[in-house]
Amino acid sequence: MKRLFAAAAAVICLLAVSASASAAELGEVHAKSAILTTDDGQTLFEQNADEVHPPASVTKIMTMLLIMEAVDSGKASLDDMVTASAHAAEMGGSQIYLKESEQMTLDDMLKSIAVASANDAAVAVAEHLGGSEAAFVSMMNDRAAALGCTGTTFVNPNGLDTDGEETKTTARDLALISQELLKHEKILEYTSIWMDTVRNGEFGLANTNKMLRLYDGMIGLKTGYTSTAGYCISAVAERDGMRLIAVVMGEPDKESRNADITAMLNYGFANYAMTEILEEGQELADVAVDMGLHDTVAAELADRTAILMEKAEAEGITREMNLEKRVQAPVQKGDKLGEVIIMSNGKEIDRREIVAAEDVDRKGISDIYRDLLSYLLMKKQIDWKNLTGL
| DSSP code for 180 | H
Dmax over Cα atoms in the chain, in whole Å? 103
Q: Does the annotation mark 192 as catalytic? A: no
Inter-residue contact 355 to 304 (CB < 8 Å): no
| DSSP code for 332 | -
- The number of beta carbons lying within 10 Å of the beta carbon of residue 53 is 23
H or E element in which residue 136 lies: helix 133-147
Inter-residue contact 339 to 322 (CB < 8 Å): yes
**Beta-sheet pairing, 103-105 with 81-83:** antiparallel
Inter-residue contact 260 to 30 (CB < 8 Å): yes
Residues 6+ apart with CB under 8 A from 327: 287, 288, 289, 290, 297, 335, 337
* CA atoms of 214 and 223, how far apart (whole Å): 14
Q: Does the annotation mark 60 as catalytic? A: yes
Q: Does the annotation mark 57 as catalytic? A: yes
Residues 6+ apart with CB under 8 A from 352: 277, 301, 302, 303, 339, 340, 342
Rg (CA), the chain: 29
Residues 6+ apart with CB under 8 A from 372: none
- Identified catalytic residue from 32, 33, 60, 234: 60
* CA atoms of 157 and 60, how far apart (whole Å): 6
| DSSP code for 16 | H
- Identified catalytic residue from 33, 57, 178, 344: 57
Give the residue from 25, 47, 12 showing the smallest Cα distance to 270: 25
- Identified catalytic residue from 33, 94, 112, 117: 117
Helices and strands in the chain: count of H runs, count of E runs:
12, 18
Give the residue from 69, 101, 75, 104 showing the smallest Cα distance to 88: 101
Length of the chain measured in residues: 390
Please identify every residue annotated as catalytic: 57, 60, 117
